[in-house]
Amino acid sequence: MDDPVLLTGASGRVAEAILADLGDEYDWRLLDRYPPEVDVPGETVVADVTDREAVREAVEGVGAVIHLAGDPRPEAPWESVLTNNIDGTQVVFEAAVDAGVERVAFASSNHAVGAFETDERTPDLYRAHDDFRLDGTELPRPGNLYGVSKAAGETLGRYYHDAHGLSVVCVRIGNLTKGHPPEDYERGQAMWLSYRDCAHLFERCLEAEYGYEVVYGISDNDRKYYSIERARDVLGYDPRDNSADHAE
């Protein structure tokens, strides 16, 4: 991609993973409500994602958007997720359409489907012998209000694809950690996403051809209850890491 890429929520952990591997690969425009505290590639825009005029200016001339900004707390109250996650996501999609942006990669979350983890399914759900899989075709089933906001973001993406032809991929991100996965936490191993696999997945979101997709963002773990086959087939995702390599 020759045009700049706008990345919102540029000071967060997902952005750190993306920029660690892809910082030199694209012309970046980094938007966050706070100025960067470390050296970052490209242009920086200090603005809130709910500021319509600032976001409209930020998307001008870009070829794609990676939208990560929002309140990331699973326990975030409704007032915050409504403003920062739902309203902010609508602002980004609307601005992208108005500016003629080709594609948006939206950072959804495992919390959008957290309620599938019922007492009847766990803990076997997190173990390698269990064959239960979520593949992105199921309806959202949030386990908290943060998950509700991510499900709403996926629905907004569906609307802007259908109504305006915007290419949208929603990545239900698992347990992103900078180092090894937690050795004594089965759920964390099952949904582990390494930094380099995270960067690779979002690179494929920028390069592949798609219409509207919901995919899971985890590494190729032996333990898994999210399928990564759709990400492989549609995006060309080819993860290199496996939480089993770091398990006790």
Catalytic residue annotation: 146
Say how far apart CA 210 and CA 232 lie, in whole Å. Answer: 12
d(CA 16, CA 178): 9
d(CA 65, CA 15): 12
Q: How far apart are CA 209 and CA 167, in angstroms?
A: 8
Q: Hey, is 193 helix, strand or coil?
A: strand
CA pair distance 169, 210, nearest whole angstrom:
8
Residue 102 CA to residue 154 CA, distance in Å, equals: 17
What is the gyration radius of the CA atoms in the chain, in angstroms?
17
Contact criterion met (CB below 8 Å) for 188 and 208: no
Tell me the Ramachandran region of residue 111: left when phi exceeds 0, alpha when psi lies from -120 to 50, beta otherwise: alpha
Q: Is the peptide bond before 140 cis (omega within 30 degrees of 0)?
A: no
